[in-house]
């Protein structure tokens, strides 16, 4: 059994939409849950590749042409990509890139909705470097005890938009025909064309898919702050933890989080001056290097 392709991110760049599309392709097998978290969670990775396939894939895969995985957390560290390439030398990799400024803000809103972030956006961005360099030893109830993983995942607003290093790693370690770069803006406005180009990249037939064309992870705001505290710290939450499995608790948390959210009223998101400030300070040189080395037109990312 082998893995034929992975989509490694970026987070908040339409990977859920792509997963929803390709899980309905007759030639593709994907795990029911979008993110397996195998290659980046040390506790799982140590169990071996057979555990990976036995847990996230099943006998139905024999009826499919290829097996894939969508997991934006693979972008967190080159080590995770190296593990995949070492295990599957002929693997194909999809990497969706989004304007890092708008990606950062979307990431921030998600972390705030989930109750991890309590600061306003600009202070949160300023705190990022300190948080990543001084991570807590262990976040109770989190999926891994690997130091720093929590901070990278939930507070990496800038770092997860610094694509150049990972792109260079792909370029140096893979054939050009084995990795594909997609721009989020193209995905949003030319979904059919991009989906067909992915099919061509994976050598599978183009297909007509039925899917809600709205955003899969639509931006939402928090209703009540106290609900997040109740989920994490109340006596009720401790009782639930004592008598339910981790999988059930995860599902319950997702349901409560969704109920405790509402469609974002702020459609304009960040004002231009804030976008420019973030762009100039964190992303300007990065974007120029990506344009030059990967022949991409990123003028719409510049402020």
Domains of the chain: 5-99+161-202 (3.40.50.300), 100-159+218-301 (no CATH)
pLDDT at 216: 52
Rounded-to-integer distance, Cα 88 and Cα 201, Å: 17
Give the pLDDT of residue 234: 59
Rounded mean pLDDT, 71-76: 96
Q: What band does 241 get if pLDDT is binned at 50, 70 and 90?
A: low
Q: Is the pLDDT of residue 267 over 60?
A: no
What pLDDT, on the 0 to 100 scale, is given for residue 90? 97
Confidence of residue 302 (pLDDT cuts 50, 70, 90): very high
How much is the average pLDDT of 46-70?
86
pLDDT at 172: 98
Predicted pLDDT at 222: 58
Maximum separation of any 2 CA atoms in the chain, in Å: 55
- How far is residue 47's CA from residue 70's CA, in Å, rounded to a whole number? 20
Tokens at 112, concatenated = 């705030």
Where does the pLDDT of residue 209 fall: very low under 50, low under 70, confident under 90, or very high at 90 and above? confident
pLDDT at 77 over 70: yes
Which is more confident, 165 or 2?
Answer: 165
pLDDT-based confidence at residue 62 (cuts at 50, 70, 90) = low
State percent of the chain over pLDDT 70.
80
Residue 218 clears pLDDT 80, i.e. is over it: no
β-strands 92-97, 66-70: how paired?
unpaired
Radius of gyration of the chain (CA): 19
Q: What dihedral do alpha carbons 214, 203, 177, 80 form, nearest 10°?
A: 60
What value does the mean pLDDT take over residues 155-161?
98
Q: Beta-carbon neighbour count of residue 38 at 10 Å?
A: 23
Mean pLDDT confidence for 267-288: 92
User: What's the chain's average pLDDT?
Assistant: 88
Distance CA 162, CA 101 (A): 10
Query: Is a pLDDT exceeding 80 seen at residue 177?
Result: yes
Amino acid 247: pLDDT: 58
């Amino acid at each position: 059994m082998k893995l034929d392709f992975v989509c490694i991110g970026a987070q908040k760049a339409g990977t859920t939409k792509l997963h929803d599309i390709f899980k309905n392709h007759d030639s593709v097998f994907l795990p029911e849950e979008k993110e397996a978290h195998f290659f980046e969670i040390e506790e799982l990775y140590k169990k071996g590749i057979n555990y990976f396939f036995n847990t996230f894939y099943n006998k139905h895969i024999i009826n499919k042409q290829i097996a894939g995985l969508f997991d934006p957390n693979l972008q967190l560290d080159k080590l995770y990509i190296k593990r995949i390439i070492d295990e599957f030398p002929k693997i194909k990799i999809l990497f969706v890139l989004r304007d890092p400024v708008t990606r950062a803000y979307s990431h921030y809103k998600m972390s705030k909705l989930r109750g991890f972030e309590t600061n306003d956006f600009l202070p949160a961005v300023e705190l990022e470097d300190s948080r990543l360099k001084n991570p807590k030893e262990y976040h109770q109830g989190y999926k891994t005890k690997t130091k720093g993983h929590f901070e990278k995942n939930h507070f990496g607003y800038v770092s997860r938009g610094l694509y150049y290093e990972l792109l260079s790693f792909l370029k140096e370690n893979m054939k050009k025909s084995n990795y594909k770069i997609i721009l989020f803006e193209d995905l949003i406005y030319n979904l059919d064309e991009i989906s067909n180009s992915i099919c061509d990249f994976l050598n599978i037939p183009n297909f007509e898919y039925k899917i809600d064309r709205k955003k899969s992870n639509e931006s939402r705001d928090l209703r009540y702050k106290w609900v997040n505290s109740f989920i994490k710290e109340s006596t009720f939450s401790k009782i639930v933890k004592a008598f339910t499995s981790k999988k059930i608790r995860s599902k319950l948390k997702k349901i409560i989080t969704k109920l405790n959210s509402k469609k974002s009223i702020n459609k304009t998101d960040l004002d231009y001056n804030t976008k420019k400030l973030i762009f100039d300070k964190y992303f300007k040189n990065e974007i120029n290097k990506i344009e030059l080395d990967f022949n991409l037109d990123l003028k719409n990312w510049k402020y």
